[in-house]
Amino acid sequence: MIYTVTFNPAIDYIVRMPEFVPGATNRVNYEQVLGGGKGINVSIVLKNLGIDSTALGFISGFTGKEITRQLHSFGCKSDFIELPDGFSRINVKIKTNEQETEVNGQGPDIPENAIEELFAKLDKLTAGDTLVLAGSIPKTLPDDIYEKIMARLENRNINIVVDATKNLLLNVLKYRPFLIKPNNHELAEMFDVTLTCNDDIITYAKKLQDMGAKNVLVSMGKDGAILVAEDGSITYSPVPKGKLVNSIGAGDSMVAGFLTGYIETNSYEKAFYMGVATGSASAFSENLATRSEVEALLKTLNN
């Protein structure tokens, strides 16, 4: 079974307008309310691709109820811990023809007893399970929380995927995560460098591998992706042709696509192409990728 963990789920409130003027009253001409957060998006796309998972994490308030309702409407299972106070955050994504602006909420406090409840659920995972730890954590939590989870699950034959940034990610590498998926900007920030070409990206992806990650998948938005795999192979793919509609959730979709491809073929290369196709299928659609969209794009990639 696959389990995803989202510490800080969100309602993504996506609005479009021709121009966004700070300090003025702006009126939207399109709006969408999507229950998300990284692990939750991974669960939804896995389900769209035909793979079951259980979404774990913390939800709260009216927004938490709506996130859970939307997740279940896709047929996904959840086993969230409901927090007594506050509400799951609202992330506002403002899209104009020129640019995207994000205003992401902070999310509710997670008390110590709720963390213990999550640990108790994770203790029940069994050998062969996959755990996806994805997204940021509320700022009241220490950034070693993913590390603590991995330490607790060490030597239990559980494949762990981490999609996080900075210390939250760097701290877990010694526990040998199965897959990490930084984007190129996050990779540059982690090492405080400027990455100007694919060779630079490969160099720093390999550093993350030397630090412990088994497979490093670096996404590069419209410029495609690079996989540095544990079998020593390095694969680059451009993105398939298509029109960008909404890139929110593209990275999460890529993680779901990679896992699906790996489960179905046991090949890192095929998993990689499935990841690229799934990321792009989400980017080319208002909603998250569906299986038929992914398969259509996969045929156009070089694999």
Ligand X SMILES: Nc1ncnc2c1ncn2[C@@H]1O[C@H](COP(=O)(O)OP(=O)(O)O)[C@@H](O)[C@H]1O
Residues at the interface with ligand X (CB under 6 A): 183, 219-222, 224-225, 239, 244, 247, 250-251, 254, 276, 279-280, 283
**Closest distance to ligand FBP from the beta carbon of 232 (Å):** 28
From the list ligand FBP, ligand X, none, which binds 219 (C-beta under 5 to 8 Å, kind-based)? ligand X
Q: Which one, 107 or 249, has the nearer CB to ligand X?
A: 249
Query: Which position among 12, 129, 163, 252 bears the catalytic label?
Result: 252
| 129 in catalytic set | no
Q: Which one, 157 or 233, has the nearer CB to ligand X?
A: 233
**Closest distance to ligand FBP from the beta carbon of 253 (Å):** 7
Measured over all CA atoms, what is the biggest interatomic distance in the chain, rounded to whole angstroms? 55
Give the residue among 216, 217, 214, 218 at the shortest CA–CA distance from 230.
Answer: 214
From the list ligand X, ligand FBP, none, which binds 129 (C-beta under 5 to 8 Å, kind-based)? none
Number of shown-chain residues binding ligand FBP (CB under 6 A): 16
Q: Which stretch binds ligand FBP (CB under 6 A): 64-72, 121-129, 231-239, 249-257?
A: 249-257
Q: HSE, CB side, 13 Å, CA atoms: give it for residue 198.
A: 13
**Closest distance to ligand FBP from the beta carbon of 12 (Å):** 5
Site string for ligand FBP, 57-96 (x = CB under 6 A): ----------------------------------x-----
Q: Which one, 129 or 186, has the nearer CB to ligand X?
A: 186
Q: Report the C-alpha dihedral over residues 133, 165, 96, 290, rounded to 10 degrees.
A: -30
From the list ligand X, ligand FBP, none, which binds 294 (C-beta under 5 to 8 Å, kind-based)? none
Taking CB under 6 A as the criterion, the residue among 15, 36, 55, 237 binding ligand FBP is 36
Amino acid at 122: L
From the list ligand FBP, ligand X, none, which binds 36 (C-beta under 5 to 8 Å, kind-based)? ligand FBP
Amino acid at 76: C
288 three-class SS: coil
Q: Which one, 120 or 244, has the nearer CB to ligand X?
A: 244
- Give me Rg for the CA atoms of the chain: 18
Q: Which one, 45 or 76, has the nearer CB to ligand X?
A: 45
**Helices 38-49 and 268-283: crossing angle, nearest 10°?**
110
Contact assessment for residue 89 and residue 107, using Cβ atoms and an 8 Å cutoff: yes
Q: In whole angstroms, give the CA distance from residue 79 to residue 214.
A: 28
Q: In whole angstroms, give the CA distance from residue 285 to residue 246.
A: 6
Q: Which one, 235 or 247, has the nearer CB to ligand X?
A: 247
Q: How far apart are the first and last CA of the chain?
A: 28
**Closest distance to ligand X from the beta carbon of 14 (Å):** 14
From the list ligand X, ligand FBP, none, which binds 56 (C-beta under 5 to 8 Å, kind-based)? none
- How long a stretch of residues is the chain? 303
Task: Give DSSP secondary structure letters for 28-65.
Answer: -SEEEEEEE-HHHHHHHHHHHHT--EEEEEEE-HHHHH
Q: In whole angstroms, give the CA distance from residue 71 to residue 129.
A: 21
Q: In whole angstroms, give the CA distance from residue 118 to residue 77.
A: 16
Any idea which residues carry the catalytic annotation?
A: 252
Residues that bind ligand FBP (CB under 6 A): 8, 10, 12, 36-38, 41, 91, 104, 135-136, 248-252
